Amino acid sequence: DVADFLVELTSSPKLAAAYYQGMEGAPPLDFAARFAAESDYYAKTLDELDTSRQLEKDDPSAFEWPEYYAKEFTKPTTEYMKHCFHRKLLELRKDPALLQTKAGQAVFMGVFTGALFHNLDYDDFSSKFGFIFSVLMYIGLTGMGDMPGHIDRRNVFYKQRDQSFFPTAAYVVSNVVVAVIVAVIETAVYAIIVYYMTGMASASFGPFFVLLWLLSLAMGQWFVALAAIAPSAQDAQPMAGMCIVMSVLFSGFIIQRENIPQWWRWMYWISPISWAFRGVAVNEYRSDVYDKCVYQRRELGCGTIPGTEVADPLTADDDDFCCFESSDGLYFLKLYSVPVDAFFVPLGAVVLLGYVAFSVFAQTVLLTFVRHGHKGGAAAADEEVSEAELERKMRPVAKMDRAASTRMAAQSQKEIPYVPVTVAFRDLHYTVQTPPRTPHGPPEQLELLGGVTGFSEPDSMTALMGSSGAGKTTLLDVVAGRKTSGKIT
């Protein structure tokens, strides 16, 4: 056990004796001597160090450490991705409310939108374009609410990345994979409800779902990239809002493409919502349902003698006769200045995938080279504070320390009563109840302290050391009698 090993090597003889009273074990010196005498790893390490020192001494310019010691990450990147992915899945499993909230929101908004646009008529193209736009707006904005969470977890990432826990790319890719899974679930729930409640073309659901899913992923990853560069959540929200406004204005629905000024039209072709809007609209109106001219014949006078309302005997009974476009679907698309070519459906999917790739690349670069301090200002990872600046900042602290020392010296002269006390504990256990893993299962017992032994003598400083989450604060609270729940034995 690593903890026992550290206790053996670092403890005083008195603590080691108390720790091993009634237990089988070896004194630290005996353990170290046996490790040096019998361990192949010890001998190999000494040999590598001696060889490296000799090489460095003989020819410093030609000296190079072995590749294993020169590399920051010695394992394949996929290995780090696997660990980051498992950790992210564990976070989701321990926080089921997140997925439940997203699924519930998708159901509510799906039913609400489906009821608002319920069973649209064949020729109600204006409402159908409005339905497409509203669906894309909801899907595109779902990732904006996750920005504060990404910013809150950013400092943890900084700490772990600077300690070389994993490459930045492994962290980013694992988060993207989990985001893909969540987006599939959320988009599927929402898309199935709204699509069939509004009476859209059934054969076109597949591309409709794919485009919505890719838009959700593209916008979500772009918001994550903004969270990586924004100093704080308060700064990230306006940045995200500006991007949303620009994407919506140039989506092709608020202002049609032909009405956009020429010098702003390039924004129409880079807006992710615009690509999704074109793809979904072309996918719907190029389907077989609209491959006829019912609207043109009824509303535009096709099949009548020009200049009159008298039916033309040659075309009155011909349902395929069109006088403006070859089908109603193409006519509806051109009314909104939407390109009618069918290749805009797969092209839109490819462009949205490109947005996802660009956002992932931006996240990797930003998380690698940008750091945000406690005050929210961005700083380079290797930025150093000058000696003059450090002295200026430490000057008020030094004055406070001198004042505190003066007060303590004055108090010590008053002979404050002091009774030396030795604090000791042996085989200390502390357990708490945790919620059951199943809805109707029994609560589980989690042991936070398992057989801890130690002491602290008066007139001495005792350091309690351990990694984050090891239980240092829990041990002090239990020893001080501050715990009001759980079981202490």
Question: Dihedral (C-alpha) 45, 49, 50, 53: value to the nearest 10 degrees?
Answer: 180
The alpha carbon of 424 is separated from its chain's Cα centroid by a whole number of angstroms, namely 45
Q: Please write the tens of the pLDDT for every residue from 408-452.
A: 656 555 556 677 888 888 888 998 888 777 767 777 888 888 888
Instruction: Summarize the confidence of residues 300-320 as an average pLDDT.
Output: 52
Q: With 0-12 CB in 10 A as exposed, 13-18 as middle and 19+ as buried, what is 129? A: buried
| The total number of residues written for the chain in this structure | 489
Is there a contact between 94 and 176 (Cβ–Cβ < 8 Å)? no
Nearest to 330 by CA among 265, 280, 284: 284
Exposed e or buried b per residue across 141-177, where buried means at least 16 C-beta atoms within 10 angstroms of its C-beta: bbbbebbeebbeebeebbeebeeeebbbbbbbbbbbe
pLDDT at 316 over 60: no
Write a three-state SS string for the chain. Answer: CHHHHHHHHHCCHHHHHHHCCCCCCCCHHHHHHHHHHHCHHHHHHHHHHHHHHHHHHHCHHHCCCCHHHHCCCCCCHHHHHHHHHHHHHHHHHHCHHHHHHHHHHHHHHHHHHHHHCCCCCCCCHHHHHHHHHHHHHHHHHHHHHHHHHHHHCHHHHHHHHHCCCCCHHHHHHHHHHHHHHHHHHHHHHHHHHHHHHCCCCHHHHHHHHHHHHHHHHHHHHHHHHHHHHCCCHHHHHHHHHHHHHHHHHCCCCCCCHHHCCHHHHHHHHHCHHHHHHHHHHHHHHCCHHHCCCHHHHHHCCCCECCCCCCECCCCCCCCCCCCCCCCHHHHHHHHCCCCCCCCHHHHHHHHHHHHHHHHHHHHHHHHHHCEECCCCCEECCCCCCCHHHHHHHHHHHHHHHHHHHHHHHHHHCCCCCCCCCCEEEEEEEEEEEECCCCCCCCCEEEEEEEEEEEEECCCCCCCCCCCCCCCHHHHHHHHHCCCCCCEEC
Most confident option among 159-168, 211-220, 255-264: 211-220
Is there a contact between 287 and 345 (Cβ–Cβ < 8 Å)? no
Nearest to 276 by CA among 358, 350, 199: 350
According to the model, what pLDDT value does residue 359 have? 95
- Average pLDDT of the chain, as a whole number: 81
Q: Please write the tens of the pLDDT for every residue from 49-78.
A: 776 655 555 565 555 666 666 778 888 889
Q: Beta strand 378-379 with 371-372: parallel, antiparallel or unpaired? A: antiparallel
Is there a contact between 478 and 458 (Cβ–Cβ < 8 Å)? no
CA gap 215, 205 in Å, rounded: 15
According to the model, what pLDDT value does residue 415 have? 58
Instruction: Summarize the confidence of residues 388-392 as an average pLDDT.
Output: 59
pLDDT at 243 over 50: yes
Q: Please write the tens of the pLDDT for every residue from 379-389.
A: 444 444 455 56
Categorize the per-residue pLDDT at 112 as very low, low, confident or very high, splitting at 50, 70 and 90.
Answer: very high
- 325 Cβ neighbours under 8 A, 6+ residues apart: 296, 331, 334
Amino acid at site 310: V
Q: Please write the tens of the pLDDT for every residue from 1-38.
A: 555 656 555 666 666 565 555 555 566 777 788 888 88
Categorize the per-residue pLDDT at 278 as very low, low, confident or very high, splitting at 50, 70 and 90.
Answer: very high
Give the HSE-up count for residue 29: Cα atoms under 13 Å, Cβ half-sphere.
2
Angle made by CA atoms 32, 37, 43, in degrees to the nearest 5? 100
CA gap 134, 276 in Å, rounded: 12
Give 182 or 329, the one with higher predicted confidence: 182
Give 126 or 314, the one with higher predicted confidence: 126
